[in-house]
Amino acid sequence: MVVELVCVGTEILLGNIVNTNAAYLSEKCANLGLSLYYQTVVGDNEERMTTAIATAIDRSDIVILCGGLGPTKDDMTKEITARVMGRELVEDPHTRERIQAFMDNYIKSQPEGKITANNWKQALIPQGASVLDNHNGTAPGLIIESGGKTAILLPGPPNELKPMFEEAVYPYLRKKQPEIIYSEMVKICGIGESKAETDISDLIAAQTNPTIATYAKTAEVHIRVTAKASSEKEAKQLIKPVVRELKLRFGKNIYTTDENKTLEEAVVELLRAQHLRLTTVESCTGGALSARIVNVPGASDVLKQGFVTYSNSAKKKFIMVKKSTLKTYGAVSSKCAKEMAKGGNFTTGSDVAVSVTGIAGPDGGTPEKPVGTVFIACCLKGETKVREFHFNGNRSKIREQSVVNALILLRDCILENFKK
């Protein structure tokens, strides 16, 4: 069954808002096993909206429209869709009652507010349409079926669209689509996309159902395994041997098979499992590493302290980097990174410390140490490892790559400690 998205709003075309609805709806449709070939964004223009909606209904079985259901004159989605599908608009008493109750409640907290005549525009629905109650706003959703075609109209605000889709639209679509698509994600760190794809080229060449797709992230590769089946249980059985094979091939480089888990969450779990307290010592990343750790709920269990030692004087004063090291080797050096990590451990009495020092640019590079040169060190229980990197990209990209690779080094050191 083919589904199509039409998102309405000039503000989307102008870039005033990000169209998160399309990403959300696309994922949900994919999970349902629906084939989605087109997404359209159209501004609040009657002629262009008519063309976009008529084209979508003509070539797809189901058209999901979001936005343009409000009370103002430029909210025309319902009116145009009804006209395209040959339906008259009639007032729905149930929806009028809900709008009245919603506005009465609103006026209680906003005494200066009042119900205006255009609010009742939202109580008009295409004749024969199914009404989807909006528990978070005044614009109801609608399902219009005609001649084997279906139009599903949803409000634009995500905090109204998402609950309505989950409560009413997903169950409706599930009944219409007997097959489902189920996916599992295998997340890998420390391996580039080209190598990861090469390592599984035979699996990709032989794929039918399930299918395998790789996605490049910063210093990570995510591999999605997707199966189509009549039930989630059957799809999981199809996926299971493929995921098992990926685990055999990538081993410890796989940090999770939970699509929602981040690298920093996986690292915090490892720290917690080994009862390790962490100190971060950062120069070029300016606190971005500790910020990633703090993003994880419960990070206070493992993060003891964070230093941003941007200047040489801070490195000497707070984490005991030797003056001779800075003079002889420089702040961006393996020796300095090592002393930063060891000093962070000693100063705070933590179990493990990670340090980052480098040249993020755009200035400061030399022929010997060009922009993108970064040294990352990890000191765990007296043993220190240092890795040298030469990153490409702008300042932001170099700092981002530094943070991710610091997390990867920290994870590797913890795993080695597990073995011991």
pLDDT digits (tens, 9 = 90+) for 320-379: 999 999 999 999 999 999 999 999 999 999 999 999 999 999 999 999 999 999 999 999
Six token digits for residue 182: 């189920």
Fill in the amino acid letter for 336.
C
**pLDDT at residue 152 greater than cutoff 80:** yes
Give pLDDT, residue 420: 64
pLDDT digits (tens, 9 = 90+) for 48-91: 999 999 999 999 999 999 999 999 999 999 999 999 999 999 99
For the chain, give the percent of residues with pLDDT over 90.
Answer: 87
pLDDT digits (tens, 9 = 90+) for 237-291: 999 999 999 999 999 999 999 999 999 999 999 999 999 999 999 999 999 999 9
Six token digits for residue 334: 């393996």
pLDDT digits (tens, 9 = 90+) for 348-357: 999 999 999 9
CA of residue 409 relative to chain centroid, distance: 24
- C-beta of residue 68 within 8 angstroms of C-beta of residue 156: yes
pLDDT digits (tens, 9 = 90+) for 179-219: 888 899 999 999 988 999 999 999 999 999 999 999 999 99
**pLDDT at residue 9 greater than cutoff 90:** yes
pLDDT digits (tens, 9 = 90+) for 374-401: 999 999 988 999 999 999 999 999 999 9
Domains of the chain: 2-176 (3.40.980.10), 180-256 (3.30.70.2860), 263-419 (3.90.950.20)
pLDDT band at residue 116, thresholds of 50, 70 and 90? confident
DSSP element (H, E) containing 289:
helix 288-294
Give pLDDT, residue 117: 80
pLDDT digits (tens, 9 = 90+) for 10-32: 999 999 999 999 999 999 998 88
Pick 174 or 63 by higher pLDDT.
Answer: 63
Q: How far apart are CA 36 and CA 25, in angstroms?
A: 10
Contacts 24+ apart (CB under 8 A), 316-320: 318/343, 318/347, 319/281, 319/343, 319/344, 319/347, 320/346, 320/347
Considering only CA atoms, which of 313, 203, 302, 301 is closest in space to residue 249? Answer: 203
pLDDT band at residue 160, thresholds of 50, 70 and 90? very high
DSSP code of 30? H
Q: How far apart are CA 237 and CA 71, in angstroms?
A: 49
**pLDDT at residue 109 greater than cutoff 80:** no
Q: Is the peptide bond before 210 cis (omega within 30 degrees of 0)?
A: yes
**pLDDT at residue 105 greater than cutoff 90:** no
**pLDDT at residue 113 greater than cutoff 70:** no
Q: Is the peptide bond before 111 cis (omega within 30 degrees of 0)?
A: no
Average pLDDT, the chain: 94
DSSP per-residue string spanning 112-137:
T----GGGGGGGEEETTPEEE--TTS
**pLDDT at residue 112 greater than cutoff 80:** no
- C-beta of residue 249 within 8 angstroms of C-beta of residue 203: no
